[in-house]
Amino acid sequence: MSDIDYDWDPSRQAISVRDPRLTRLLLREPGRCATLNEYAQACGLDTSDVVEMLGGYLDSGALALDFFGDEVFVNTAPLGRPLPRGSVDVPPNLWEELRERAGTETAYALWRMLRSLERSGWSVEHRVHRIMFGLGAVVDLPYLGVKVGGVVVPAMIFPHLDALGRGGGLLDQYERAGARALAAICDERGLDEVVTAVRRWMLSRRGPTALNVLVLESPRYNPTLLSPSDTAVRPVNVTRDTLGQYFF
């Protein structure tokens, strides 16, 4: 099933290559891949085959290859958007969407974080309008969200402890926005400090809060839940499969 948010231009020809698997990825599942290796693995092809099939679009400038770190990323709008006149119609892939929001260096770090979370079993969302669906405005928008019980939970990546609990900080913002849960990704051995900061914030509230906080400690990202329904604000070790029943 297609999972795409894109307004097609009927005046343009959609991008197409000779392998239907690659064409489908480019048109119907653009958020699935970012690198040449990912496109090749998803289609069961060699990277050289992918480069060869994209060759005409690379030569025309409709697509480009971005080299960063040890990876080669496929840039679906090297000339920017709106697409230039005469260019083929191609929706933004994962790499373009990350670069658009964060720039190349940060986009690379976000891509690595996203894949690391996925390898640990999380389903990850990168489209901000889907992460924030149903929520009010916040100053610090999330770059990623994790899916829990069919709902996307905004994820804060390595937040500074003061940024979490201060007045007008992340926890305040997302509570006011109506979030039922917020995820905080922390460094290895940083769990206790984050739990303490969240506990301090919850206990300092003048009134009850409905905001649950899910702490994911790298590199395994096992969830620890801090729920305001527990008067002691005791962290609870949970699993991804049972997590949704706690706050959704």
Q: Where are the domains of the chain?
A: 20-101, 120-247
Residues 6+ apart with CB under 8 A from 117: 124, 144, 146, 216, 221
Q: Indicate the CATH number for domain 20-101.
A: 1.10.10.10
Higher pLDDT, 49 or 234: 49
Q: Which of 38-47, 53-62, 70-79, 201-210 has the lowest mean pLDDT?
A: 201-210
Residues 86-130: pLDDT tens digits? 889 999 999 999 999 999 999 999 999 999 999 999 999 999 999
Look over the chain and give the mean of its residue pLDDT values, rounded to a whole number: 91
pLDDT, tens digit, for every residue of 180-232? Answer: 999 999 999 999 999 999 999 988 887 778 899 999 999 999 999 998 876 44
Give the pLDDT of residue 206: 76
**pLDDT confidence of 55, banded at 50, 70, 90?**
very high
Q: Give mean pLDDT, residues 147-165.
A: 94
Residue in this structure with the two tokens 């889907």, named with its chain if needed: 130
pLDDT greater than 80 at residue 243: no
Q: DSSP string covering 146-195, please?
A: EEETTEEEEEEES--HHHHHSTTSHHHHHHHTT-SEEEEEE-TT-HHHHH
Tell me the per-residue pLDDT of 77-86, one tens digit each, with 9 for 90 and over.
999 998 888 8
Q: Which of 35-49, 132-146, 230-244 has the lowest mean pLDDT?
A: 230-244
> What is the band of 151 on the pLDDT scale with cuts at 50, 70, 90?
very high
Token pair belonging to 209: 């809060």
- AA letter at 9: D
